[in-house]
Chains A and B, each alone.
Chain A
Amino acid sequence: MTTDTLAPPVTVTVPKIKSELMQQRVRAARWFLLPMLLALAVVAGWPLLRSIYFSFTDASLTDLYGAEWIGFGNYLRWTTLESGVTRYRGLLVDPAWWNAVWNTLRFAATSVFFEAILGMIVALVLNAEFRGRSIVRAAILIPWAIPTIVSAKMWSWMLNDQFGILNDLGLRLGLLSQKVAWTATAETAMQAVLIVDIWKTTPFMALLILAGLQMVPRDIYEAADLDGVHPVKQFFRITLPLVRPALMVAIIFRLLDALRIFDLIYVLTPNSTATKTMSVLARENLFDFDKFAYGSAMSTLLFLIIAVLTMLYIWLGKVRFDGGDR
Chain B
Amino acid sequence: MASIELRNIRKAFGAVEVIKGVDLEVRKGEFMVFVGPSGCGKSTLLRLISGLEDITSGEMLFDGKVVNALAPSKRGIAMVFQSYALYPHMTVYENMAFGLTLEKGHSKDEIQKRVEKAADMLQIRQYLDRLPKQLSGGQRQRVAIGRAITRDPKVFLFDEPLSNLDAALRVATRIEIAKLHESMDNVTMVYVTHDQVEAMTLADRICVLRDGLVEQVGTPMELYEHPNSVFVAGFIGSPKMNFISGEKAKAFNADTVGIRGEHINIVPGNGTWTGTVIHTENLGADSYVYLEMGTEEPVVVRLDGANNYKSGDTVHIAPMPDKVHRFDAAGKPIR
Contact = CB atoms under 8 A, between A and B. Distances in A.
Nearest to B77: A226
B139 A4 contact: yes
Interface string A185-228: 00000000000000000000000000000000101101111111
Nearest to B74: A228
Name the interface size band of chain B: 35 or more
Interface string B130-151: 0101111111001000010001
B131 to A, nearest CB: 8
A226 B72 contact: yes
B52 A229 contact: no
A39 interface: no
Contact of A227 (B73, B81, B133, B136): B73
Nearest to B86: A220
B55 to A, nearest CB: 16
B135 A223 contact: no
Given A3-B169, A5-B136, A225 B85 contact: no
B85 A217 contact: yes
B195 to A, nearest CB: 19
Contacts of B79: 222-223, 226
A217 B89 CA distance: 12
B102 to A, nearest CB: 6
Contacts of B133: 7, 325-326
A35 interface: no
A229 B98 contact: yes
A225 B72 contact: yes
B103 interface: yes
A325 B50 CA distance: 31
A200 to B, nearest CB: 32
Contact of A226 (B78, B139, B169, B172): B78
B85 A223 contact: yes
Contacts of A227: 73, 98-99, 102, 151
* Residue among A4, A217, A228, A230 having the largest count of chain B Cβ atoms under 10 Å: A4
A223 B52 CA distance: 10
B71 A228 contact: yes
A241 B90 CA distance: 10
* Residue among B73, B74, B123, B131 having the largest count of chain A Cβ atoms under 10 Å: B73
Interface of B: 50, 52, 71-74, 77-79, 81, 83, 85-89, 98-99, 102-103, 123, 131, 133-139, 142, 147, 151, 168-169, 172-173, 176
Given A1-B142, A1-B169, A220-B87, 9 more contacts: A1-B172, A4-B169, A219-B83, A226-B52, A227-B73, A228-B73, A238-B89, A242-B88, A325-B89
27 contacts: A1-B173, A3-B168, A4-B139, A4-B172, A6-B134, A222-B52, A222-B85, A223-B85, A223-B86, A224-B87, A225-B52, A225-B73, A226-B73, A226-B77, A226-B79, A227-B98, A227-B99, A227-B102, A228-B71, A228-B102, A229-B98, A229-B99, A230-B102, A233-B102, A238-B87, A241-B89, A326-B133
